[in-house]
Amino acid sequence: MKTLGANTIRVYHVDADADHSGCMSAFADAGIYTLIDMDSFDTYILPNNPWWNQTQFDAYSKVMDAFEKYDNLLGLFVGNEIIAMNNQSLAAPYIKASARDLKAYRDSKGYRKIPIGYSATDIAELRPMIQDYLTCGGNASENIDFYGLNSYQWCDPTDYQTSGYSNLEEQAKNFPVPIFFSETGCNKPGPRLFEDQASIFGPSMVNDWSGAIIYEWIEESNNYGLISYGPKVDATVTGTNIDGGYTRAGKPTPVSPDFSNLSKQWATATPTGVARSNYDATSVSTRACPTSTASGWLVNGNVALPSLGETLTGSSYSSAPSATGTANPSASETQNAVGGSKEIAGMGAGLVGVMMFFTFWL
């Protein structure tokens, strides 16, 4: 990862009972930060019949307890692609409620202000609503601290305009919290050239976007890996460090040409960012809470958030006193090459994405 040029990794599922000190120390020695997902396949917020209960809270807070001591913990995710279809937006208040309760827990424990955020599916009809809703209302104790977008629009060969990245930039201008690509790296038709990195870290997007996580580290059946730990074997083969036909330990071998293509892109990137001394908080814009739309956004304004233990029992929420506003879907663009959650087929428990990140928070 250090050879590649990564300075941050994302880990999707972790064992909160395990000792991660050796791993976190090795990453720290290599100058690598970590972004950790707190949910699991057993505890994530359901999109169609959402609830947020004590069992979920306890599991998420246990992950926080396990990692808060490490200085190179960059942030924690409360969810990944919970809303993957345009009729699942009623789950959004539960995402926000989980952020509220985990931030309150963090503060009650006296932990540093570890950023807590969300990783969203790239749905053109809902993209501005989701990111605006999770940062609207003016209550920092409820809003997410960062927003990640899983986008596979840029499929080489393409360009900034054709790919739809110009639309992503337009919707991210002056965003009130750090926004970055929490997954990217389309492999259709292949090979991956990663030419989007020049736009993300260049003048077109660098003032608003804070980096990109490339999906993913280990080569698996979806062919998104940057390295492999050995040749593929039959999926029925079992053994130490073998899962789903792929070896998951040993000496990493770069996947060609993807590894070298990404390394070259990052080697030539020269993002400047904004120095803290030059940062003007008035330059960012607090988003208005979106109203419901015919295209699928069902949460009307700044609704009251569910309390811990509450389950969705209807199709609407009552409004709470606060500013409301409207948000419109983006213009036509390249359809996301990887539908919501499809890219995680065959995902192993140790899955990571690698990232070049240049904005430091808190």
Active site residues: 81, 183
HSE value, Cβ hemisphere, 13 Å, CA-based, for 285: 11
Contact assessment for residue 327 and residue 299, using Cβ atoms and an 8 Å cutoff:
no
Rounded distance between C-alpha atoms, residue 177 and residue 136, angstroms: 11
Residue of 113, 185, 97 whose CA lies nearest to 149: 185
Fill in the amino acid letter for 242: I
**105 three-state secondary structure:** helix
- Summarize the chain as % helix, strand, coil (round to 5): 25, 20, 60
Rounded distance between C-alpha atoms, residue 99 and residue 109, angstroms: 15
Structure tokens at 124: 């053109």
Residues contacting 110, CB < 8 A, separation 6+: none
Measure Cα distances from 325 to 101, 170, 268, 300, 306 in Å: 25, 18, 41, 9, 21
The string of DSSP codes covering 141-199 is: TTS-SEEEEE-----SS--HHHHTHHHHHHHHTT-SS-EEEEEE---SSS----THHHH
User: DSSP H helical segments within the chain, as ranges?
Assistant: 21-29, 54-67, 92-108, 127-133, 160-163, 165-172, 196-200, 258-268
Buried b (16+ CB within 10 A) or exposed e, 5-14: bbbbbbbbbb
Structure tokens at 37: 């997902």
